[in-house]
Structures are given as structure tokens and as C-alpha cells.
Amino acid sequence: MSRKLLAILAATAVIGTSVAAVTFGGPSGDSAETDKAVSSIIPTVSEVSSGLTFADDPVTDQDETPAFSYSNVADVAEAVMPSIVAITNKSVQEVNNYFFRRSFQYEATSAGSGIIVGSNDTELLICTNNHVVEDASELSVTFIDEQSYTANVKGTDPDNDLAVVSVNLEDISEDTMDQIRIARTGDSDDMRVGEQVVAIGNALGYGQSVTTGIISAKNRSIEAAADSYGTNVTTYEDLIQTDAAINFGNSGGALLNMNGEVIGINSAKASQSGVEGMGYSIPIAKAMPILEDLMNRQTRVRLAEDEIGYIGINGQSVSRDATMLYGIPQGIYVTYVEEDSPAAQAGLEEGDIITEFDGEQVTSMRDLQYMMQYYAAGETIDVKISSASNNYEDDTLSITLGSRSSVQ
């Protein structure tokens, strides 16, 4: 199947007087944690430590097939709306002004959507798109009762544009807990082209809204550029195409079958002039194992400036063109290693390419600098590298982060 480069708008609303597109990609700074019991996307009610029930709740076991199908969209929306949240992301953006030969920073506020997928002993867990939460300096979640709570990024997968955020259960009021539900998941693989679907999300940042349509196609591939110049193109594969309206702010929201089950996570729409009704969702069958991994990672919070660790390197991104031409991996090409720095002591050298930091993919110094805000001096972190000296085979170094104050 041939694949054209589509102009894809990430369906996130920029709150203000206008609506604009945002970019895909960018990891967060969370690490793996396996000793915390997490209710998965497909738990039974008895397994959910918070006492939450499932949306619609006609059965208690997700392994059972619901013996019903809603007769209309209104019933689907009523059953599932308690499982959908609005996400607000405040971030600091940097814009290069070539006329003045300098860059400017400004605070941007954008809105997307999320789906309540589970809980553990201390957190409510919500899935969304990576591009909804990337670069967040402040993150909040608004539930069906219009109450908002501070959230943290628990884990991200930029390659698949997926993320999980958490809200502390102790912060959520009893009244809110009584009104929210865990979403049910369906079998996206069994869905047929032409079947009716329902999309729910925070369109334009105005609050939850409902649209409906059909599955137009399955196993679609799209390519999205990180900016208007067409650089850092990322390919997303095996997507569900739908004509249910997916607008700015719908990113991270649910695509549902007529049983009220989540069969996709809404992510993007085609934005070419004259194109209508081409939205794309990540199938839940593809997303589920990724989300379950992210749900089990350690939740990290942003540290105070004097607590943040440092590595001691400079670097630059390996471009997609360089990857294609020379067969080198994407990541951060290390251009300088500070003498006696944590990086130098761990054996990192100029010319090495950092591909992962604490299990998270990194492709730029901007990615790494963002992640470092969540890692304290004294922590030992595994860093995956490749270098020409070993034919770009993966190697792992353990770096004990230093204190910023010691180099000031």
C-alpha cells in the first residue's frame, strides 16, 4: 500500500483566542517500577483498589462479552462520559526569532482529553496521547463533575504517541469518586469497516462533546512532521480511520463501539485543504500492552532547581536524514563530555549516541533537559548508548547524577 505524507494536526486545543496544531513526540522522565500492584485496563471490579466501578457496569468481568448493544449514541455517551476527562497542559515554549537572532520563551496552555483506565493503591490512572502532555510544567485533569485536580506524567511512549498520567487518590473528593468510572475496553481487531463508532473528547477545550460516524478503514499509516518545515517526520502505523469528527482537544479521548467499549484512542486528523472526515485513532489492542507498562512505572514529580542532578555533556540531535543515509540510530550525538563529570566517570565519550535515558527514548538535548527536571542528584540511572567503535550496537552505562551546585 502506498503511503502519502499527510498534513496531520494533533488534535489538541490551544486555549486562547485561536486554535493551532501542536507537535507529536517528546518523552517524559519516568522510570520502571514493578513492585506496585496496578489494576490493568482490563481488571475486574474486585481488583480495583479504589472501589471504582466500570462505565455502565452491566457485568463485572472484562473477559465476558456484554450481552447487549446500545440502541443509540445518547446511551453510549451517557454510560461512558464518567470515564472521560479533560486535560490541561501548561508548558513553556521556545520560539526562534531570526530577525532579532534570539529565541523567546512564553507560557502556553493547551487542552486535550484522557480516559480513566485503572488505579493502584495510591493513584487514579488515565491514558492519553504523548503530545497532549509533553513538556508539561503544570498538568491538571478535570472530571465529569467539572472538578479539577493536579496530575503527574507517569510514563510516555513517543513512538506510539501514548502516555499515562496519574492523580493522587487522596486528593480526589468522595463526591468526585462517586461520579467517575473506569472505561471498558473492547476488541478493536474484531471491528469491521462500516461499523458505527462514537468519539468523546474535550473538543476545542470547551468540555466534553460527542460525535459519531463509522470506521472508514483499518491498518492505516500516516506520517506527521514535528513542525511546519517538515522536519523530524514520524510514522504512525496500524491506525483506525474514522469519519467521526476529531477536532482540536479530542486527542487522548475515546473511540467507542456501540457496546460503550473503548476500541481506540483518538489522536489526529488530516488537515489538508479540502479534506474532511479523516480522523485517526490508535487501536486499543495495540495500545493496551504499552499502557499497562506505562501504568507500572514510577511516578516522578518536578524537583526544585537545587535538587536536580546533572550529567555533564553537550550534544545535538541525530537527524532523520542522517539515520537513513548512514544507518546510525536516532538519539543525542555527544559533542562534549565535561572532565570528571558524572558522564565521564561512567565512561561516556564524545561521539557516543544516547538513545535512551532510564528506559525512555531521547532524541534531543531538549528532551534530556526536560527529563532531568525529575531526577535528583545522587540517583544512578541506566543510559543506553551506541557508538561507531562498536558498530552502533547497544550498550548500557550506569550514571550517578551529580549535583548542579558542585559545578556552579
Instruction: Give dist(CA 87, CA 128) in Å, integer.
Output: 9
Instruction: Classify residue 379 by its DSSP letter.
Output: -
CB-CB neighbours of 322 under 10 Å: 14
CB-CB neighbours of 210 under 10 Å: 21
Q: Is the predicted pLDDT of residue 163 greater than 50, yes or no?
A: yes
pLDDT in tens, 309-343: 999 999 998 877 788 888 889 899 999 999 999 99
The model's confidence at residue 70, banded by pLDDT at 50, 70 and 90, is confident
The model's confidence at residue 52, banded by pLDDT at 50, 70 and 90, is low
What are the residue boundaries of the structural domains of the chain, listed by start? 8-298, 305-407
CB-CB neighbours of 130 under 10 Å: 27
pLDDT computed for residue 63 by the predictor: 46
Q: Is the predicted pLDDT of residue 58 greater than 90, yes or no?
A: no
Instruction: Give dist(CA 313, CA 327) in Å, integer.
Output: 24
Instruction: Give dist(CA 224, CA 233) in Å, integer.
Output: 5
Choose the catalytic residue: 39, 56, 131, 317: 131
Q: Is the predicted pLDDT of residue 346 greater than 80, yes or no?
A: yes
Of 127-141, 198-212, 286-300, 393-407, the range with the lowest mean pLDDT is 393-407
What cell was used for 187? 476488541
Per the CB < 8 A criterion, the answer to whether 117 and 128 are in contact is no
Q: Is the predicted pLDDT of residue 68 greater than 80, yes or no?
A: no
| Architecture category of domain 8-298 in CATH | Beta Barrel (2.40)
Of 11-15, 134-138, 147-151, 388-392, the range with the lowest mean pLDDT is 11-15
Closest CA to 257 of 99, 18, 75: 75
Mean pLDDT of 39-50: 32
pLDDT computed for residue 254 by the predictor: 97
Q: Which fold, 305-407?
A: Pdz3 Domain (2.30.42)
Q: Is the predicted pLDDT of residue 302 greater than 70, yes or no?
A: yes
Choose the catalytic residue: 28, 251, 281, 317: 251
Mean pLDDT of 41-70: 45
DSSP per-residue letters across 139-190: EEEE-TTS-EEE-EEEEEEGGGTEEEEEEEGGGS-HHHHHH--BPPB--GGG
Closest CA to 83 of 119, 109, 47: 119
251 classed as catalytic:
yes
pLDDT in tens, 243-274: 999 988 899 999 999 999 999 999 988 877 77
131 classed as catalytic:
yes
The model's confidence at residue 94, banded by pLDDT at 50, 70 and 90, is low
Instruction: Classify residue 92 by its DSSP letter.
Output: E
